[in-house]
Structure 1
Amino acid sequence: MTELILASIRQPGEDTVSDLHIAEGVVTRVSAGGGIPRGARVVHLDGRYVIPGLWDEHVHMTQWALHSNRLDLSAAASAHEAAAAVGLYVHHADPSVTSVGVGFRDALWPDVPTLEMLDAATGNQPTALISHDLHCVWLNSAAARRYGVEVDAGGLLREEPAFAVTRDLGKLPDSLVDGWVRDAARAAAARGVVGVVDFEMTWNRDVWLRRLADGFDAVRVDAGVYPKDLERARNDGMRTGLELDGGRGLLRVGPLKVLIDGSLNTRTAFCSDPYPDGSYGLLTVSEGELLSLLRRGREYGFVPAVHAIGDAANRVALDVFERAGIGGRIEHAQFVGAEDLARFGSLGVTASVQPVHALDDRDAAESNWSGRTQRAFPLRSLLDAGATLALGSDAPVAPLDPWAGMSAATTRSRQDGRGPWHPQECISRRQALAASARGRSRIRVGDLADLVVLDADPLAVSDAEFGALPVAATLLAGRFTYDGGLA
């Protein structure tokens, strides 16, 4: 393979200019310049900055691709407003195809969704609306009949019934969905993403093998496994970290994903403090069941990734990790009691967090527990207590854009004039970059050449610039997956 040299690069926070030598997909030398071998391919970067490639540690890739091609209801300020928008959308729709909207946030609406309201807006056109956190689906009567489900006067399904309908809504022609996924991955590469952990709620291995056979090569994929498929995965010889694509390094088996509570929008996250209606959310897997599952997963070679949003759910998950004597990941860790922070580090449990949720869920949290939200998204406290952070988006719950996530983690605010939310929990940009690059903070000899080229120093730009920092190029094992005109 021809050696690639990225000439005249800098690393964040440094003025020193170096040349980066890449061979066989690995960084082989970081030199002070000169000594370019004959026949090498040289790309002159003119002092641009190079950082390790970025990972999104939690996505639902097919749902993200579908989301990008559905009616966006995130701006709807009420149930009536959402229904009206859907009514206009389905006016000339094909009744053989279900109309789908996404992104609504009923926890913030002043009115309550009803079946009658959605039926009045949509008539006999089958219509399904998926909440922003994927834990709730609002159906009209025609859609309920089509998918064989019973709905009450609200027309709402939550948790597993909602997930089942969402899976059915994704049953479109493979060629169509795979094309959308390919486009979404290319867009992610253009933002510096080199890999994703995909937690799509399905048997995902064969889907990704099909996509790779059809030429998908924009990002690496760790494909998660759910409990219902654990025995199948074991029988097929799968385990976390196993390469599935014949040594190309694009597809590996991901963690064992277990959901033990719900979400904030649906008021099903399992919390120590009651919601305004007096409920505490849902613990969907008992402590005993979780312990048995994690032990079986360990026996089969799977790293557990436990979905826990509420502080009570996080405590249950940590208790089980401790009883099982194994490490792993907690996905979300949105609310964590002060007494549980240090347990992440001592138990070897990574906090896989999605910082944009802190901005999206701010109003819902304050409406539930006004003045008592100090335990929400405690990123700085987790780091100070010795935890490892891994940043992601949970796309489509938030956009698949690591810069938006890192901006939320470092500022705790949007550029909308509102002050930061619990600013004491901000982390530094260096910490955010490392948590988005699997702990890598600078380019070193021997690293995989998964790299991002930037026009500006990410440590020096303003907060507004950092959140939307343009990417000049992205490389995967020394191959350009995105080229903004440099190569």
Structure 2
Amino acid sequence: MTEHRPGPDGDLVTTIADVHLSGPRRGGASDAERVDVLLEDGSIVAIRPADPEVLLRSDPGVLDGGGGFLLPGLWDHHVHFTQWARTARRVDLSSAASAAEAVELVAERIAQEADGDGWVEGARFRDALWPDTPTFALLDVIAPDREVVLVSADLHCCWLNSAALRATGFADHPTGLLREEESFAVLKQLDQVADELSDRWVDAAADQAASRGVVGVVDLEMRWNAADWIRRVGNGTRALRISFGVYAEHLERAIDAGLVTGGVLAGTDGLVQVGPFKVITDGSLNTRTACCEAPYPGSAPGTDAHGMLNVPPERLTALLTLATANGLHCAVHAIGDRANTLALDAIETTGARGTIEHAQLLRASDLERFARTGTAASVQPEHAMDDRDIAEVHWAGRTDRAFVLRSLLDAGATLRLGSDAPVAPLDPWVSIAAAVTRSRDGREAWHGEQAITVEEALAASTRGDDDVVAVGRPADLVVVPFDPFSCATEALRTMPVLATMLGGRLTAAGRPGPGA
């Protein structure tokens, strides 16, 4: 499509565009005038006042912006994508207020199944405040002969019955409630499904993400993701950009392959690039394994009263040194305040670049270290809404320094927002709403002093410098019907999405938000 317009000196200027997005308004603009956006080779080549006659042309390259509000495409900076794709097929245990209730939900699913064969999987249970204790015996009553595996909401714990314990190599486990490395081992076994089936689930999940304005994710699935995503893109999964993580068990393999952060994988049409080296230093709040300075209430002597440190400081330093020397940025999982201090120590010692993932409980003296070391805080605001009641019990007296988004920004740190899906939904509007309102379900804002602005939340939900719509930027765009900068904050969580574009290609159109 070739367009001729008068230039600044009156001469005709020729602009060649693949796509002409006509009539949206730029979100946050004071005048909110409609514009025409011309896209060429995946980038924005021109933005100018809208020409109402453009839509009258019978040109397939013209897309109607519908008078919606144009924003940069959104990113989720922390996802376990295969786990997220599978979660929709598991029994949802998020409503269970006890182990007994969780068992009832699983029993209902078993009763509904026609074949009565195969593994039973559940997800999203939170047992930190349950009055009873999950054990394999409780599950054996409802499924003595079928394998049952229930995955906690934080992915740091799995609850198995006797049949599943035998099948996964944990027949001698005393309780059936596996934490941290044992739990991760079970999750890896659950991932062993046929590529064709897994890829079909992932493709559907990618389309759903695009329908919520997502153009890219940082996929921190605990497997060798390079091969997965090369295969998936080759088979037609093209709704998202992917930045994939590498774990310690695959670090040498990545180095031998010459993978460096930011490098694009061949055969993926530029959609898949190497992300960070990921290391999990401690556990989680719900599982009471986040490594903290203070002990957890009611912890028995001789137990992991302060949580668990999965990677000792000297090992962490060695890993970050190796990754950094070979061109990999680092993503260090740290939730407890002790774990965050040790992570920052290692980052300062090694000069590693990258992120601390989660950063949920922080010492005041560690805040400025994020900015000083250039370490971004990759946070999940919806976790604060999920865990506020748990935190008030297990981090009692310390919640003024939990999920401290405002304090991090004020200290000069960079924020990146994500979901940690399937821990929270892969929906950036959910994360944005939680960050801005610190509230959900009509409850009073929890530590509202830590709220951030819509502008800050949107910037943290994009990829780096691509946080504005401007000429020369990638044509990764989203159109929404309401201006998020001026609409009621309660409306952010269910913001409908009119269209999503990836590199100038339409990946979702006309799909309403969940609350529309």
Would the TM-score normalized by the shorter structure come out above 0.5?
Answer: yes
Query: SS where residue 268 of structure 1 aligns?
Result: coil
Q: Distance in 2 between matches of 1:363 and 1:51?
A: 34
Residue 154 of structure 1 deviates from its aligned partner by: 2.4
Instruction: Give the 5 Å matches for 1:214-253.
Output: 214-246=235-267, 248-253=269-274
Q: Does structure 1 retain, via aligned residues, the 8 Å contact 2:230–2:267? A: no
Relative to 1, partners in 2 of residues 1:485 and 1:224: Cα closer, same or farther, differing over 3 Å?
closer
1:454 aligns with 2:480: yes
Relative to 1, partners in 2 of residues 1:468 and 1:309: Cα closer, same or farther, differing over 3 Å?
same
Match of 1:155 in 2: 176
Which residue of 265, 269, 275 corresponds with 2:286?
Answer: 265
Q: Does structure 2 retain, via aligned residues, the 8 Å contact 1:4–1:21? A: yes
Q: Distance in 2 between matches of 1:180 and 1:405?
A: 23
1:177 aligns with 2:184: no
Residue 7 of structure 1 deviates from its aligned partner by: 1.5
Match of 2:49 in 1: 32
Q: Does structure 1 retain, via aligned residues, the 8 Å contact 2:162–2:171? A: no
Q: Does structure 2 retain, via aligned residues, the 8 Å contact 1:9–1:17? A: yes
Query: SS where residue 460 of structure 1 aligns?
Result: coil
Relative to 1, partners in 2 of residues 1:8 and 1:266: Cα closer, same or farther, differing over 3 Å?
same
Contiguous gaps of at least 5 residues in structure 2: 2-16, 300-304
Amino acid at match of 2:344: L
TM-score, structure 1 normalization: 0.96
Which residue of 97, 112, 117 corresponds with 1:77?
Answer: 97
Query: SS where residue 468 of structure 2 aligns?
Result: coil
1:475 aligns with 2:509: no
Which residue of 196, 206, 222 corresponds with 2:217?
Answer: 196
Amino acid at match of 2:48: S
Match of 2:445 in 1: 420
Which residue of 8, 12, 18 corresponds with 1:3?
Answer: 18
Which residue of 368, 377, 392 corresponds with 1:342?
Answer: 368
Residue 155 of structure 1 deviates from its aligned partner by: 1.2
Residue 326 of structure 1 deviates from its aligned partner by: 2.9
Match of 1:435 in 2: 460
Q: Does structure 2 retain, via aligned residues, the 8 Å contact 1:90–1:125? A: no
Q: Distance in 2 between matches of 1:138 and 1:455?
A: 43
Q: Distance in 2 between matches of 1:204 and 1:151?
A: 32
Residue 443 of structure 1 deviates from its aligned partner by: 0.5
Q: Does structure 2 retain, via aligned residues, the 8 Å contact 1:3–1:40? A: no
Q: Does structure 1 retain, via aligned residues, the 8 Å contact 2:357–2:378? A: yes
1:385 aligns with 2:405: no
Amino acid at match of 2:50: G
1:368 aligns with 2:394: yes
Deviations 1:325-367 (A, max 9, x none): 2321101111111111111011000100001000111111111
Match of 2:6 in 1: none
1:59 aligns with 2:79: yes
Deviations 1:61-81 (A, max 9, x none): 000011011111111110011
Query: SS where residue 196 of structure 1 aligns?
Result: strand
Query: SS where residue 401 of structure 2 aligns?
Result: coil
1:137 aligns with 2:152: no
Amino acid at match of 2:19: L
Q: Does structure 2 retain, via aligned residues, the 8 Å contact 1:6–1:19? A: yes
1:332 aligns with 2:358: yes
Match of 1:125 in 2: 146
Residue 125 of structure 1 deviates from its aligned partner by: 1.3
Amino acid at match of 2:91: L
Residue 464 of structure 1 deviates from its aligned partner by: 2.2
Q: Does structure 1 retain, via aligned residues, the 8 Å contact 2:501–2:507? A: yes
Query: SS where residue 297 of structure 1 aligns?
Result: helix
Deviations 1:307-334 (A, max 9, x none): 0011111110111111112321101111
Residue 151 of structure 1 deviates from its aligned partner by: 4.8
Q: Distance in 1 between matches of 2:166 and 2:352?
A: 45
Relative to 1, partners in 2 of residues 1:78 and 1:485: Cα closer, same or farther, differing over 3 Å?
closer
Residue 381 of structure 1 deviates from its aligned partner by: 0.4
Match of 2:5 in 1: none
Query: SS where residue 85 of structure 1 aligns?
Result: helix
For these two proteins, the number of residue pairs brought into alignment is 485
Aligned-pair Cα RMSD in Å: 1.9
TM-score, structure 2 normalization: 0.91
1:13 aligns with 2:10: no
Match of 1:49 in 2: 69
Query: SS where residue 106 of structure 1 aligns?
Result: coil
Moved over 6 A (4+): 35-40
Deviations 1:131-171 (A, max 9, x none): 01111111100111111213544211111111111111121
Q: Does structure 2 retain, via aligned residues, the 8 Å contact 1:53–1:437? A: yes
Q: Distance in 2 between matches of 1:236 and 1:346?
A: 32
Deviations 1:243-281 (A, max 9, x none): 103472211111000000001111000011210134110
Query: SS where residue 276 of structure 1 aligns?
Result: coil
Q: Distance in 2 between matches of 1:36 and 1:25?
A: 21
Instruction: Choose 318-327 or 29-38, whichever is displaced more.
Output: 29-38
Query: SS where residue 361 of structure 1 aligns?
Result: helix
Instruction: Choose 9-18 or 350-359, whichever is displaced more.
Output: 9-18
Query: SS where residue 456 of structure 1 aligns?
Result: coil
Q: Distance in 2 between matches of 1:171 and 1:380?
A: 41
Deviations 1:381-425 (A, max 9, x none): 0000000000000000001000000000001110x2321110000
Deviations 1:109-146 (A, max 9, x none): 11111222111122211111110111111110011111
Match of 2:39 in 1: 22
Amino acid at match of 2:452: I
Q: Does structure 1 retain, via aligned residues, the 8 Å contact 2:165–2:173? A: no
Q: Does structure 2 retain, via aligned residues, the 8 Å contact 1:27–1:448? A: yes
